[in-house]
Structure formats: C-alpha cells, structure tokens
Amino acid sequence: MICHIEAGNGIAIYEQIGRQVKFSIANGSLVVGERVPSVRELAIQTAVNVNTVARAYRELQQQGVLNSIRGTGLTVSAAAPATCALMRLDMIRDRLRSVLQEALRNQISADEIRTLVNDEWEKLSNKADASDNTS
Amino acid sequence: MICHIEAGNGIAIYEQIGRQVKFSIANGSLVVGERVPSVRELAIQTAVNVNTVARAYRELQQQGVLNSIRGTGLTVSAAAPATCALMRLDMIRDRLRSVLQEALRNQISADEIRTLVNDEWEKLSNKADASDNTS
Amino acid sequence: MICHIEAGNGIAIYEQIGRQVKFSIANGSLVVGERVPSVRELAIQTAVNVNTVARAYRELQQQGVLNSIRGTGLTVSAAAPATCALMRLDMIRDRLRSVLQEALRNQISADEIRTLVNDEWEKLSNKADASDNTS
Amino acid sequence: MICHIEAGNGIAIYEQIGRQVKFSIANGSLVVGERVPSVRELAIQTAVNVNTVARAYRELQQQGVLNSIRGTGLTVSAAAPATCALMRLDMIRDRLRSVLQEALRNQISADEIRTLVNDEWEKLSNKADASDNTS
DNA sequence: GTGGTCTAGACCACG
DNA sequence: GTGGTCTAGACCACC
C-alpha cells in the first residue's frame, strides 16, 4: 500500500491515512486478512510521526476496519471490503460538495466548474502517467 | 455583503471570511472605496468572535486588499479588484485539485468524478433556488 | 504656528499636537497672551478630526500651558514659556533614549549610531532647506 | 535569546518581539535552523500573553524569517540572516529619523542633538555595564 | 511538549 | 461609532 500525505489541505494527517487505507480496501489492493504496514514502516514511508500513524490505525480498529492479532499486527477485517466499498465515493463526495458549495455561493458558473474539473483532471492524469513511466 | 461560515470544512474561519471578501470584490458586490462591514457588524452577522473577523481583515490589509482609515473603517483598495479577479478561480481550483488528486490516486474513474460533480452541483443549485424562493 | 502630524510613529496624534504647541512656545513663535489657532482652523490645517485637536488643547489647559478666555479662545499662559523651555530638550531626549536603548541592546555600535545620526540629520536639513526655497 | 519589552514606547509588543528576533538573527545569536524559544517559554520570560508572542511569530513566518514545523517548533529560515542583516540598521534608522525630524522642525540645533545623543549613549552604556557586572 | 485557532472581554486612539 | 492591541483561557492536531 502506498500512502500519500498532503499537508495543509484541511484534513488531519491521521485521517488522511485512514482514508487511504479504506480506499485501498475498497480497491482490492488490500484484501481480507492481509496485514497492513507496521506503524513504524508507514511512519517512515510517509515521513510522519509514529504516534500519528498509530492514531490512524487505532481509529480504523474502532471502526471495525482492522483487526489486531497479537504478534502478527493489524489485518483487514472480514467486514471491511463491504463497508469501504460503500464509503468509496462518499468520502470524495463530501469534500467535493464543500468546494462546489463555495463556488456556487460565489457566482462561479456551472461552465467554469466543469472546465476547472476537466482541466485539472487531465493535468493530474498526465502527471500520474508520467511518474508511472519514470518509476 | 453576505458571509457564510461553514464549520469543520478544514478552512480556518478567518480565512473563510477573507476568501468571501475577495470573491465579493471579484464579483463586483464590493467596489473600490466601498466600506466593508465593521468588524463588530460582521462578527454578529456570522456569529463569530470579533477578534476572528479582525484577524481576517488584518490579513486582507497586509495583502493590500483593504485600506484602513482609523476611526472610520476599512475600504476596498484600488488594486483589489484586479488581484481578486485573478484569484477568483484559483481559490476554487486549489481546493478542487486537492480533492481530484485524492480521487485519482484512489482509482476513482473520470466518469465517476463527472457524475459526482454534476449530481452535487445540481443538488446545490436546487437548494439555493429553493431557499431563494422561501425567503 | 505650523503643525506637522506624522501618523504611525507611536505617538498619539493629540499628543503630537500638544508637543508642537509646547515647542512653539519654547521657541518664542507663540508668546504669552497670544491666541493659538482655533480648534477648527488647526483641524483643517492638519487634516485631523476636530475632536482630536480639542483633546490636545484640553490637555494643554490642564497642564497650565493654555488659558481659556471666553469669547476669545485659548491663549498662552504667563507660566508657559518657562515650563516649555524646560521641556524642550527633555521631550526629544525621552524619545531618543528609547531608540538608543534598542540600538544598544541589539549590538549597534557607537560609531554606527553616530553615523546614522549625522547622515539622517544632514538629509533632513537639506530637505527642509529645499522646501524652504520652494515655498 | 533574551528579549526585552519596553511598555509605552509606542511600539506594539508583538512588534517589539519581532524586531528583537530579527536583531538576534542579524547578530548571529540565532543561526539558520536554530529553534526560537517556544511561544509559551517566551511568554513567560517576557511576562507577555501567549497569544501576543504567537502573533509576533506568525508575522515573522509570513515575512519568511521563521519556518514552522508542527509539533516541533519554529526555526530560523535559510533566507533570514541575509534579510535581517539588511534590516538591522534600517529598523533603528526609521525610529531615529522620526525623532530627528521632530527636533529639526522645532529648532533644536545640530549641536544640541549631538550632545543629547552622546550623553544618553554614554549613560545607557554605563548602565548596561553596571548590570553586566552585577549579574 | 509544540504551534494554530477561536472565544470572550477589556482598554485605547480616533471620528 | 471605528479599528488596534492585549489578556486569559480553551481546544485541537501533531511530535
């Protein structure tokens, strides 16, 4: 599982981690029973403090997404894929709604929004492709 | 000028106020030389603390958007419309990009995004119309 | 009496006015029994609010520098020249000390200070001469 | 870093703090990457409210003098020494000019100013030495 | 522990 | 009435 952290986007870091775990489960990149990266491993990979990763995992456990197995670490629970699949679009929808709301309130037109979305989506897709090729 | 505050969207209140002032200037709802609402007035209207509004205004001043006349109030600077017009779409674009980035990274398809945007935009537009008619 | 106001130098406007009245008395530009400019007159000349000038005059009266004569206005008291002469250098000295204190605390050398004083004094003198010739 | 607050000198406390941080960087008492005292620490040391210190630090950040690392503290930015070195004399010069301007306008002679400067500088130096020896 | 944000309430200078 | 500053105390996210 690869985890990207974006500072200063208004979402707490521990929540960003939790969201990406859920997305990975919904995508099938993490399957039932599979171990998630250890706290330390993920902390190093994301350059985030260990406590912050630990907090993310703790909340995922409380939500029933991860199971703790002594001596083995944390694994994806049996119920997780179903619940994460349901959340997949909702997580994006909520953030999107907040942005659209601001746009609508401030006289941004539907056309302007659609143009923005298409332009940005294309830019990001190209960037992602480029970095795929590089790696 | 009407100012909407949305709690828990990850944007600090003082910044939400700042953004809306800039949008209003870009839209022409606030024109050069016009006074913005007094800190106390806006604090009451938005149910926010006076100091928070004052901080928003102070930063707008530092950015050259507002001019302060002691004992008289704050007015829109001559340079503000131009700078705010440039910022108008950028402010939305930045937030949008962050959401799209998360979507793209997590295997949301272009179609799914477009559907989300269209659905949410329509819902919000209808809600806005409804509340217009009600009032 | 000519009165200069410098905004944002940390001295309240009403006090700047008071100081300049005292300097003028110390210099002999205002003599015992002479009328000072009316509140309105000075307010216009300095582009300051009438209340602010009124406050300056009120404090000068309380300090015994000005006398109020019904129907005539405010005049320089008999005691004023003596007290103002004593204050003349002290008023400058106090401000100067504060600046020098900051300089000394922050490792500015005596030479640097002397150079600054000489340079600035010369610049200001030249500017004053220039504007004298122009007028 | 030692920080002195002088009440009633017309400079806002948060700005006095900001100036002294810049002086310390210019002097080399604070070096690139070094942490400045925490807001709470400096608040106690200067007997000033935490928010006031926080405001000083926030403005230094906006000016690019300090970098913020969440949960870790504030550090001197790489660009700071150069900019602060340039500001060093200017900060004093601006205050000095204001005093000299008042002096010149009110017929204080060049000799009187020089005497004042020398006398006050000497007094302050002696006082500083005395308190050095005492401590 | 760190900084960042927000609230509540006060005083000041100015109009 | 206006904005500007300061205090006191709280909660949050992060290390």
Asked if D99 and C97 come within 8 Å (Cβ–Cβ), the reply is no
> Is the pLDDT reported for residue D134 higher than 80?
no
pLDDT score, position A130: 79
CATH number at residue B70: 1.10.10.10
Q: Are residues B43 and B25 in the same domain?
A: yes
pLDDT score, position D132: 73
pLDDT score, position B130: 82
Q: Report if CB B57 to strand E is under 7 Å.
A: no
Q: Which of A20, A88, A113 sits opposite B117 (nearest CB)?
A: A113
Q: Report if CB B39 to strand F is under 7 Å.
A: yes
**Residue A102 resides in a domain:** yes
> Is the pLDDT reported for residue B135 higher than 60?
no
- Do residues C96 and D116 touch, judged by C-beta distance below 8 A? yes
Domain that holds residue C130: 91-134
Q: Are residues C128 and C99 in the same domain?
A: yes
Task: Dump pLDDT digits (tens) for A42-62.
Answer: 999 999 999 999 999 999 999
Chains C/A: 3 or more C-beta pairs closer than 8 A? no
Confidence category of residue A133, pLDDT binned at 50, 70, 90: low
Q: Mean per-residue pLDDT for D1-27?
A: 95
Sort D92 into a burial class: Cβ within 10 Å, 0-12 / 13-18 / 19+: buried
> Is the pLDDT reported for residue A76 higher than 60?
yes
Q: Report if CB D57 to strand E is under 7 Å.
A: yes
Instruction: Tally the domains of chain B.
Output: 2
Q: What is chain C's pLDDT, residue by residue, as a tens digit (135 residues)?
A: 889 999 989 999 999 999 999 999 999 999 999 999 999 999 999 999 999 999 999 999 999 999 998 888 999 999 999 999 999 999 999 999 999 999 999 999 999 999 999 999 999 999 887 777 665
The two tokens of residue C126 are 């030249």
> CA of A126, closest CA in chain B: separation in Å?
11
- pTM given for the model: 0.94
Based on its alpha-carbon atoms, the radius of gyration of chain D, rounded to whole angstroms, reads 17
Q: Are residues A65 and A31 in the same domain?
A: yes
pLDDT score, position C134: 62
Sort A113 into a burial class: Cβ within 10 Å, 0-12 / 13-18 / 19+: buried
The more confidently predicted of residues D70 and A112 is A112
pLDDT score, position C26: 97
Which of C25, C88, C92 has the highest number of chain D CBs within 10 A, making it the mutation to test binding with D?
A: C92
pLDDT score, position A72: 85
State which nucleotides on strand E lie below 7 Å from a protein beta carbon: 1-10, 12-15
Asked if D4 and C105 come within 8 Å (Cβ–Cβ), the reply is yes
DSSP for B4-40, please give it.
Answer: ---TTSSS-HHHHHHHHHHHHHHHTSS-TTPBPPPHH
> CA of D67, closest CA in chain C: separation in Å?
23
pLDDT score, position D51: 97
Q: Are residues A76 and A96 in the same domain?
A: no
pLDDT score, position B1: 87
Q: Which of D62, D81, D100 is the last residue of a domain?
A: D81
Q: Are residues B58 and B23 in the same domain?
A: yes
Q: Report if CB B68 to strand F is under 7 Å.
A: yes
Q: Are residues D51 and D109 in the same domain?
A: no
